[in-house]
Amino acid sequence: MTDTPPDRLSNDPKSPHFDAALLERGVGVKLNGVDRTNVEEYCVSEGWARLAVGKTVDRFGKPLAMKVRGTVEPYFRAPAPEA
């Protein structure tokens, strides 16, 4: 594994941008300089993050989310595991 998070990552298992190994390691996201804990998906190159809105879910059980534009800075919360 590398020390740089991917350009795009989602925590929805049905998404093509889902990566369980990275999510287990712990990925944090700073959006416009504020550390966010409710990020469902992000894209660094396009400059947006999808944030969960409260505890409301849609009819499929997925959290309702809103897209916020700005500077996205992903980082790993834990160091890389030793091989």
Would you call 28 exposed, middle or buried from its count of C-beta atoms within 10 A (0-12, 13-18, 19+)? Answer: middle
pLDDT digits (tens, 9 = 90+) for 40-79: 999 999 999 999 998 999 999 888 999 999 999 999 987 7
Cα gap 40→50, rounded to integer Å: 6
Instruction: Please report, for the chain, the start and end positions of each structural domain, with discontinuous segments joined by +.
Output: 8-76
Is the pLDDT at 81 greater than 90? The verdict is no
Question: Is residue 62 within 8 Å of residue 77, measured between CB atoms?
Answer: no
Question: Is residue 82 within 8 Å of residue 58, measured between CB atoms?
Answer: no
Global pTM? 0.87
Which of 64, 75, 14 has its CA nearest to residue 42? 75
pLDDT of residue 78: 79
Cα gap 9→49, rounded to integer Å: 10
